[in-house]
């Protein structure tokens, strides 16, 4: 449409010059020149966007090496982003430790405890808000990509009812049992993964309210299931034309890479992602069921771990008082 409009304007200009003859020049008004210039720039931008869109579509529709290259690029970008986030989190932890060391030389024990607690609470709040913003952004990004590619944003079979809510809540029980079984295995790498998870919980969720944890878990479940099931799995199966099993395995593996707490945790998260993907497929592509299961699973794990850590801390402090 823009192409024909620009051609029409140029034709009118040529006809105007011919109509007035060679002895009388044709002058366009400044507003008309500005309109023509804006139309020309819009026309160029239109073709640039179309060219980029065609290149983008051809990249993931090709049957050659471009398809795994495209998927690998997305996965690598996600991993680098997560590493940067974790590095920033570690730097923040070092800043707290440095502040504690500096305060030991300048303040008394009570003032040191109060200042350290204040800094830790401020950091917990900052990390919690950052997590909320990140998860909401992830869900919106997945929704935008799904909508742009013509995929159902919430799945083809999306519907909310008391039955699907109960179905999602009950579906978290087998996954919780599986995680409990894994934690009982006598392997050192599993113990290291559990200790690393507890360290993260202690730094972020130990003194937070249950409502705050529930809000974060709800946003996490909805956002990650939209991104990895409604968008990524549907894109791999519908547009990249992978089989159901291949799409499930690849999207679950990328879901595991999205949780780089430790190498063992990546595999555990990949298995959890496979389970959520299985729920998505078995419920007729209804993202609400795996989102509820995901949120309930995260909430129960965090609350149990937080309760155990608070109990152990109270027991150890009670023993110190007795001694």
The secondary structure of residue 125, as a DSSP letter, is H
* Sign for the pseudo-dihedral over CA of 150, 80, 220, 215: negative
Cα–Cα distance between 207 and 306 in angstroms, integer? 9
Long-range Cβ contact pairs of 76-83 (< 8 A, separation 24 or more): 78/254, 78/257, 78/258, 79/257, 79/260, 82/257, 82/258, 82/260, 83/260
Q: Which of 136, 212, 175 is nearest to 292 (CA)?
A: 175
Q: Which of 279, 262, 193, 268 is nearest to 228 (CA)?
A: 279
Print pLDDT tens along the chain (323 aa): 444 444 444 444 444 444 444 444 445 556 556 656 656 655 565 555 555 555 545 544 444 444 454 455 455 555 545 554 444 444 444 544 554 455 444 455 555 445 555 556 666 677 777 778 888 888 888 888 888 888 888 878 788 888 999 999 999 999 999 888 887 877 777 777 777 777 777 667 777 788 888 888 899 999 999 999 988 999 998 888 888 999 999 999 999 888 877 788 888 889 999 999 999 999 888 899 999 999 999 899 888 888 877 777 776 666 666 65
Q: pLDDT at position 22, please? A: 46
Q: pLDDT at position 72, please? A: 52
């Amino acid at each position: 449409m823009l192409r024909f409009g620009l051609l029409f304007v140029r034709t009118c200009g040529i006809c105007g010059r011919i109509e007035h003859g060679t002895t009388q020049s044709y002058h366009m008004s400044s507003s008309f020149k500005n309109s023509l210039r804006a139309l020309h720039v819009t026309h160029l931008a239109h073709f640039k966007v179309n060219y980029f869109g065609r290149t983008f579509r051809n990249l993931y529709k090709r049957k050659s090496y471009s398809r795994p290259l495209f998927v690998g690029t997305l996965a690598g970008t996600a991993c680098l982003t997560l590493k940067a986030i974790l590095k920033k989190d570690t730097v923040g932890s070092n800043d707290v430790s440095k502040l504690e060391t500096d305060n030991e030389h300048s303040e008394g024990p009570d003032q040191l405890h109060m200042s350290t607690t204040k800094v830790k609470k401020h950091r917990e709040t900052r990390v919690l808000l950052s997590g909320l913003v990140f998860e909401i952004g992830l869900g919106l990004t997945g929704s935008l990509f799904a909508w742009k590619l013509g995929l159902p944003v919430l799945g083809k079979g999306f519907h909310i009812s008391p039955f699907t809510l109960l179905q999602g809540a009950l579906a978290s029980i087998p996954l919780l049992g599986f995680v409990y079984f894994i934690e009982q295995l006598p392997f050192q790498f599993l113990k290291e993964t559990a200790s690393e998870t507890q360290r993260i919980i202690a730094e972020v969720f130990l003194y937070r309210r249950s409502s705050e944890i529930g809000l974060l878990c709800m946003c996490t479940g909805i956002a990650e299931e939209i991104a990895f099931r409604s968008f990524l799995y549907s894109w791999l199966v519908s547009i990249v034309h992978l089989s159901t099993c291949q799409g499930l395995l690849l999207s679950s593996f990328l879901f595991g890479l999205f949780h780089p707490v430790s190498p063992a945790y990546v595999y555990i998260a990949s298995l959890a992602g496979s389970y959520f993907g299985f729920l998505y497929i078995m419920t007729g592509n209804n993202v609400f069921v795996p989102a509820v299961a995901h949120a309930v699973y995260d909430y129960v794990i965090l609350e149990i771990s937080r309760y155990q850590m608070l109990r152990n801390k109270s027991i150890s402090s009670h023993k110190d008082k007795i001694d």
